[in-house]
Structure 1
Amino acid sequence: MSLVAIPEAVVSTLSGIFDVMNAFAMMPQSNSMAIQSPPFRVEIVGVQAGPLGLASHVPVTVQRDITSIESTDIIIVPSVLLGAEGWQKGRYPELVQWLLAMHSRGALLCSACSGLFLLAETGVFDGMEATVHFGYATAFTSVYPQVPIHSERVLVISGKREELITSGASMTWHDLVLYLIGRHVGATAAQAVARFFALQWHQDGLAPYIIFEGRSDHGDLAVQTAQEWIAGHFSVANPLEEMIRLAGLGERTFKRRFTLATGLSPIAYVQRLRIEDAKRRLERTEAPVDEISWQVGYVEPAFFRRLFKRVTGLSPGVYRRRFQIPVYARTQQKG
């Protein structure tokens, strides 16, 4: 297994993957998981062997340069940190050519989070479904519009041989390594590793983590006026009427232009703003769900609950338990 190191790589993802995939030697063996020898030999590889400073300026040692590797079974590109200039294609031509050669010889190409920016440069992901960190989804699509992105998904497996594997935001590298262990060693081994490291599958997807931010780069001033107003008045009754009035457009024209500009109908846009506010209230207060429903603009709590689950994938109660700071981690007030 080859774990690719480049200067933009994030040390926590790289080192985490390295440790977990090398963990079999240190894990206690049980009768249900008797592994005679470590199933993976993980190496940190790069353009040049030796010390390499990563995005956080923490150095790692590249154990092998890619010119010395003629074949490998699995390649993982860990998370990369994008600067203000975004991803610049063409920085690593030798690495891209090596990735293509390894893929042609049967290697799995895997990305953790934003590592897909490098892998996509090979072109083998064109037309193949993939996932990437939701915070980078727009930037990725602008660079690689030919790769269909589903940033709400945790893990996407594509390709004729299921050889193109991408994981979504940040810590979903856990799902990636557990999937690879399950695929190559078995479900029992994957479960044992998950228990040993207290790793969890993100079985509810990434929709609960995504913060809604309406598009504002569309250039339609009438729609932007409505957006600015609704940002502070989404909880009022019948907000659509005021949005149309402020935009100075006919109803049908407004709905058409709003949907074209933002990607959402006006009603769906209002719903997303309300649900986003409800998420913050669930995270930060102890208010009952029915009261939060009213606070964000819904008089029917049952409708609010259904809508909340449709948008986030979780019920309000489950969401609160998942994202509210647990009692044991809260700062104690001194008397």
Structure 2
Amino acid sequence: MSASPLHVALLALPEAAVSTLAGLFDVLRAPGRPGGLPGAGDRAGAPPAFRVEVVGEAAGPLALASGVPFPVQRAVDDVESCDIVIVPSVFVTGAGWATGRYPGLVRWLRRMHERGALLCSACSGIFLLAETGLYDGKDATVHFGYAREFAAAHPSVRIHPQRVLVVSGAREELVSSGASNTWHDLALYLIARFVGATEAQEVARRYALQWHQDGLAPYITFEGRTDHGDAEIAAAQRWLAEHFSVANPVEAMIRRSKLAERTFKRRFTAATGLTPIDYVQRLRVEDAKRRLERTDAPVDEVSWRVGYEDAAFFRRLFKRTTGMAPGAYRRRFSIPEFARR
């Protein structure tokens, strides 16, 4: 760790989520303070690990996406250099992220990178960072709900929405975190990297933060592509949505279609991005997730309900798809007893 605090610039935008911005501000100020809590005063003789500052296009109060005003402490034009820049999660409306909206901020981000700063994004903040061009040909993650839109806007970025944290760049200076509260993982990663794993664990304990070690696959709801324009395949998908648990659903789909088996499978894969059997398995696993969340039915019964007589095969498939065993998934996502009515 450096003898002097590392300068962290949190970039405030009108589209930013106040929870991410404020959460990062508090958590990154924790290392070097008594009990790992902000606002308690620095330990005697120990400087804080990070000097956290909120920056933006102009200093002063800025209304964020929720309408809540947040104080911007300094304009980016007055920040000549820093150690770490973090773009928080931003709300992307139905119209999508408008590329080119903040050319001055993009230029500033490039300049900070040239001067040695780490560039980090939380969730959808990668939309702004990608405009720098620094992620072209590199890996990143983004909220899985924005993955298709991001891929369409930045096809040269290799996107991994199922991953919690992705570190890229020759200096490991490009860091992105995935969906929503994975900003926790980003903050803990930065603390571990620059202060130490012990301090990161202490902050995690004090704030009751958890590393998302199972990845984000368990959180992703499968939705088959329907924007492909193939009417025959769309009809098969609609039928399958209601009949995925029947025996031999792929053969049944083919019989119902007007296509030869080889033609049907080729067109189905081209339209949906999945083979027919993979598509069936994703639908079955998705239904199993809901049953595990909302019922107390044994795993073997859930397996049978979604179309699998071989419960052992179902368990393997479920873990391969979600990253978690069915029992572990139920413990993580079922509604706790105290919240049931």
- Same fold, TM exceeding 0.5? yes
- Select the residue among 8, 15, 27 that pairs with 1:8: 15
Match in the other structure for 1:74: 84
Q: Does the C-alpha gap of structure 1 residues 25 and 187 become closer, same or farther in structure 2, counting only changes over 3 Å?
A: closer
Quote how far apart the aligned CAs of 1:106 are: 0.5
Q: Aligned pair 1:329/2:339, yes or no?
A: yes
Equivalent position of 2:284 in the other structure: 274
Go from structure 1 to structure 2 and tell me whether the alpha carbon gap of 1:287 and 1:219 turns closer, same or farther (over 3 Å shift): same
Question: 1:107-155 CA deviation, whole Å, 9 max, x = no partner?
Answer: 0000000000000000000011000000000011111111010000000
User: Identity of paired residues, percent?
Assistant: 67
Task: Give ranges in structure 1 of 5+ residues lacking alignment.
Answer: none
What secondary structure does 2:35 align onto? coil
Q: Which moved more, 1:236-245 or 1:19-28?
A: 19-28
- Give the TM-score of the pair, scaled to structure 2: 0.94
Match of 1:299 among 287, 303, 309: 309
Does the alignment pair 1:21 with 2:31?
no
User: What letter matches 2:126 in structure 1?
Assistant: L
Unaligned runs of 5+ in 2: 1-7, 37-42
Residues 32 and 49, structure 2, Cα contact 8 Å, conserved in 1: no
Q: For 1:18-60, what per-residue CA distance to the aligned partner results, in whole angstroms no more than 9, with x for missing partners?
A: 010112365327xxx9981111000000011101001111110
Is residue 41 of structure 1 aligned with residue 51 of structure 2?
yes
Q: What amino acid is the match of 2:175?
A: I
Structure 2 CA distance for partners of 1:134 and 1:252, relative to 1, 3 Å:
same
1:213 aligned residue: 223
Which residue, out of 230, 235, 239, partners 2:240? 230
Structure 2 distance, partners of 1:17, 1:330, is 32
Question: Is the 1:281–1:287 contact (alpha carbons within 8 Å) kept by the matching residues of 2?
Answer: yes
171, 174, 177: which one aligns with 1:167: 177
* Correspondence 1:191 to 2:201: yes
Deviations 1:286-330 (A, max 9, x none): 000000101000011111011000000111000000000122333
Is structure 2 residue 209 aligned with structure 1 residue 202? no
Say yes or no: does 1:312 pair with 2:322: yes
**What are the Cα deviations for residues 73-123 of structure 1, in whole angstroms up to 9, with x where unaligned?**
000000000111100011111100000000001000000000000000000
User: SS at 1:42's partner residue?
Assistant: strand
Contact 1:225 1:246 (8 Å CA) reproduced: no
Amino acid of the residue matched to residue 20 of structure 1?
Answer: V
Matched positions, count = 328
| Structure 1 residue matching 2:149: 3-state secondary structure | helix
Relative to structure 1, the CA distance from residue 236 to residue 48 in structure 2 (aligned partners, 3 Å threshold; closer, same or farther) is: same
Cα distance, 1:241 vs structure 2: 1.7
Paired with 1:184 and 1:330, the residues of 2 have a C-alpha distance of 42
Q: More deviation in 237-246 or 7-16?
A: 237-246
Which of 283, 289, 305 pairs up with 2:299? 289
What SS does the corresponding residue of 1:188 show, helix, strand or coil?
helix
CA RMSD of aligned residues (A): 1.2
Correspondence for 1:102: 112
Distance 2:327 2:188 in 1: 28
The question of whether the paired residues in 1 share the 8 Å contact of 2:192 and 2:200 is answered with yes
